[in-house]
Amino acid sequence: MEISTTIKPTLQAMKVGDEKFFPLSKRRSVRTIASDLKTDFGLVFKTEKRDDLIIVKRNK
């Protein structure tokens, strides 16, 4: 499991079905950027908290 720290480029590069892991401390940034990418490009993500990580999965 690789924990990412560069959020926007990581989310933009994800393909449908991909999962990425971020430190839980980045939760607000991850969710904000995911929302912006949905608005700007139609990319859809789901987030989940597990232990001390936020897991992002690309859905569309």
Q: What is the pLDDT of residues 27-37, one digit of tens each?
A: 999 999 999 99
Closest CA to 26 of 1, 8, 46, 41: 8
Q: Does the pLDDT value for residue 2 go beyond 80?
A: no
Q: Does the pLDDT value for residue 16 go beyond 90?
A: yes
Q: Give the residue, 16 or 5, on which the prediction is more confident.
A: 16
Q: Does the pLDDT value for residue 60 go beyond 70?
A: yes
The total number of structural domains in the chain stands at 1
Rounded Cα distance, 46 and 44, in Å: 7
Determine contact, residues 23/3, Cβ cutoff 8 Å.
yes
* Within a domain: 30: yes
Q: Show the domain range for 35.
A: 7-58
Q: Does the pLDDT value for residue 3 go beyond 70?
A: no
**What's the sign of the alpha-carbon dihedral 27, 28, 29, 31?**
positive
Q: Which tokens belong to 57?
A: 């999965």
